[in-house]
């Protein structure tokens, strides 16, 4: 099957010098489905998906029947940013025949009693964690975002409103300095920008090269929309929106999630995220290596860092080596991750059990009626 490589690249399809997908598993999938072609998921609906195969396309496709089953794990269904292989049909919308393995997956735990994961975006190279360098500046929120968005992508902290922060007065933003030092120690890139100013936003160019996919996360008012519009520049109206015909032939402007930038990168626009709950798969140690290094020196291995003698954590807090707020957040996030991990393990056990049960029931039916 031949397809328009340049169009696909404009929405993030990454290839090597020979024009083949970088990922070996993707090459194999293409070979296994010679009639199929790649497309990228831009919207997820109950009955199917909207995909794109070029910057200015958006069309419905039929999903695999098993994805429609209510018990099918949500995170294994395609989500925004996923690459799928589709086959064109003569009479109906094209049909998805495969979901390509994700190179990265940014996820969070969904609210509710039942354990559920929610895909924020797939196949992302970089996550811009957007945070205002103003009264809203919150190191604890940055810590939470970093913990959650690491799923295979590079996090970059984008501090907006640098023009308001009073560059010559660091005390204007309490805790900013300490946080920046901490991030530098972790090797995480930080860029301060005026999100309204195209010249300032060029600081983000290293992550916006052709074929790159970026997703913006951050709390409300942080400047995500402002940054998106500046990155889009003059294209804003043309690419930020699509016009679709509805059943009566009227044109309606709909929101779109895959936004090609003139730099050749592709931006995934996520709906606002009020709350970021862990999935249980996060790596707390990776994000709080400094805290864990201190805790390793506590006299008792199971030190709760409360009233135990010889607690290195309390000593470090008293001496000012460890920020008590960072430590408190570490404890809180650890607990949340552990709680989610328990639920996840419970769900996995339940699934395994229902599979075993299902087999046993089938066997009994077979024995009794000689069929399944
Ligand atoms: N001066 C200045 N103002 C900014 C900057 N970034 C954002 N703002 C302003 O901050 C306000 C909020 O910015 P938005 O871009 O709407 O924030 P958002 O993150 O998209 O918020 P939600 O859509 O609610 O998630 C707007 O009034 C922007 O003009 C900046 O770098 N400098
Ligand atoms: Zn301790």
Whether residue 253 sits in one domain with residue 167 = yes
Residue 316 lies in a domain: yes
| Contact present, 54 and 5 (Cβ < 8 Å) | no
What is residue 353's predicted lDDT score, i.e. its pLDDT?
72
- Tell how strand 105-109 and strand 48-52 pair up: unpaired
127 and 228 belong to one structural domain: yes
Annotated binding-site residue? 57: no
pLDDT of residue 140 exceeding 60, the answer is: yes
In which band, very low, low, confident or very high, does the pLDDT at 167 lie, cut at 50, 70 and 90? low
Q: How far is the CA of 223 from the centre of ligand 1 (A)?
A: 3
> Which CATH number goes with the domain that contains 69?
2.40.50.140
Give domain status of residue 277, yes or no: no
Question: Which of 55, 83, 101 lies at the terminal end of a domain, its last residue?
Answer: 101
Helix count and strand count (H, E) for the chain: 11, 15
In this prediction, residue 81 carries a pLDDT of 95
Distance CA 15, CA 37 (A): 14
CB 25, CB 58: distance < 8 Å? no
Predicted local distance difference test score (pLDDT) of residue 174: 67
CATH of the domain at 140: 3.40.50.300
Q: Are residues 204 and 88 in the same domain?
A: no
Global ipTM = 0.95
Q: pLDDT tens, 278-321?
A: 999 999 999 999 999 999 999 999 999 999 999 999 999 999 99
| CA-nearest residue, atom 14 of ligand 1 | 223
> In this structure, is residue 275 part of a structural domain?
no
Q: Predicted confidence band at 144 (pLDDT cuts at 50, 70, 90)?
A: very high
162 is in an annotated binding site: yes
Q: Is the CB of 222 under 6 A from ligand 1?
A: yes
Q: Is 11 exposed, middle or buried (0-12, 13-18, 19+ CB in 10 A)?
A: buried
Question: Are 250 and 312 contained in the same domain?
Answer: no
- For residue 113, with 0-12 CB atoms within 10 Å meaning exposed, 13-18 middle and 19 or more buried, which class applies? exposed
**Would the CB of 305 count as within 6 Å of ligand 1?**
no
Residue 81, annotated ligand binder?
Answer: no
Q: Are residues 18 and 125 in the same domain?
A: no
Judge whether residue 272 has pLDDT over 80.
Answer: no
Strands 105-109 and 117-122, how do they pair?
antiparallel
pLDDT surpassing 90 at residue 243:
no
What percent of the chain has a predicted confidence (pLDDT) above 70? Answer: 85
Number of structural domains found in the chain:
3
Q: Are residues 256 and 148 in the same domain?
A: yes
Which residue range(s) make up the domain with 56? 5-101
Q: Both 89 and 137 in a single domain?
A: no
Question: Is 47 assigned a ligand-binding role in the annotation?
Answer: no
Confidence of residue 210 (pLDDT cuts 50, 70, 90): confident
pLDDT number for residue 111? 77
Residue bearing the bigger pLDDT, 258 or 71: 258
32, 291, 269, 305: which is closest to 130 by C-alpha? 269
Determine, yes or no, domain membership for 228.
yes
Highest mean predicted confidence (pLDDT) among 73-77, 92-96, 183-187, 312-316: 312-316
Specify the residue with its C-alpha closest to ligand 1, atom 11. Answer: 221
> What does pLDDT average to over the chain?
85
Q: Are residues 93 and 140 in the same domain?
A: no
Task: Tell me which ligand sits closest to the C-alpha of residue 301.
Answer: 2
The residues, any chain, with a CB within 8 Å of residue 156's CB and separated by 6 or more, are: 126, 127, 128, 129, 188, 189, 190, 191, 204, 207
Q: Which residue has the higher pLDDT, 213 or 347?
A: 213
Tokens at 321, concatenated: 């080596």
Domain boundary (101, 116, 142) is at 101
Calculate what percentage of the chain has a pLDDT beyond 90. Answer: 49
The answer to whether residues 238 and 274 touch, using CB atoms and an 8 Å cutoff, is no
User: 170 and 59, same structural domain?
Assistant: no
Is the CB of residue 226 below 6 angstroms from any atom belonging to ligand 1?
A: yes
């Amino acid at each position: 099957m031949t397809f328009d490589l340049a169009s696909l690249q404009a929405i993030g399809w990454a290839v090597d010098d020979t024009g083949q997908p970088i990922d070996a598993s993707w090459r194999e999938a293409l070979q296994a489905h010679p009639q199929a072609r790649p497309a990228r998921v831009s919207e997820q609906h109950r009955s199917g998906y909207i995909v794109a195969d070029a910057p200015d396309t958006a069309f419905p496709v039929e999903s695999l029947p098993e994805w429609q089953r209510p018990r099918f794990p949500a995170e294994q269904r395609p989500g925004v940013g996923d690459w799928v292989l589709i086959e064109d049909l003569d009479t109906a919308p094209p049909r998805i025949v495969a979901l390509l393995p994700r190179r990265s997956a940014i996820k969070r735990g969904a609210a509710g009693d039942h354990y559920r994961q929610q895909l924020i975006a797939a196949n992302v190279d970089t996550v811009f964690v957007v945070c205002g360098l103003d009264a809203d500046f919150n190191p604890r929120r940055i810590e939470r975002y970093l913990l959650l968005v690491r799923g295979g992508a590079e996090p970059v902290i984008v501090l907006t409103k640098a023009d308001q922060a009073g560059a010559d007065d660091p005390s204007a933003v309490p805790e900013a300095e300490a946080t920046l030092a901490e991030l530098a120690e972790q090797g995480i890139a930080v860029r301060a920008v005026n999100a309204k100013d195209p010249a300032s936003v060029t600081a983000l160019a290293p992550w916006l090269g052709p074929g790159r996919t970026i997703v913006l996360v951050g709390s409300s008012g942080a400047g995500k929309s402002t940054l998106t519009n500046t990155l889009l520049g003059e294209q804003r109206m043309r690419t930020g929106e699509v016009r679709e015909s509805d059943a009566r032939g009227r044109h309606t402007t709909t929101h779109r999630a895959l936004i090609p930038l003139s730099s050749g990168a592709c931006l995934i626009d996520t709906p606002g995220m009020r709350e970021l709950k862990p999935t249980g798969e996060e790596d707390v140690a990776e994000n709080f290596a400094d805290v864990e290094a201190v805790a390793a020196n506590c006299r008792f291995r199971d030190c709760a860092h409360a009233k135990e003698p010889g607690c290195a954590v309390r000593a470090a807090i008293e001496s000012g080596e460890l920020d008590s707020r960072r430590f408190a957040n570490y404890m809180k996030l650890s607990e949340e991750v552990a709680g989610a991990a328990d639920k996840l393990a419970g769900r996995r056990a339940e699934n395994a059990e229902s599979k075993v049960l299902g087999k046993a029931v089938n066997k009994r039916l077979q024995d009794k009626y000689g069929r399944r």
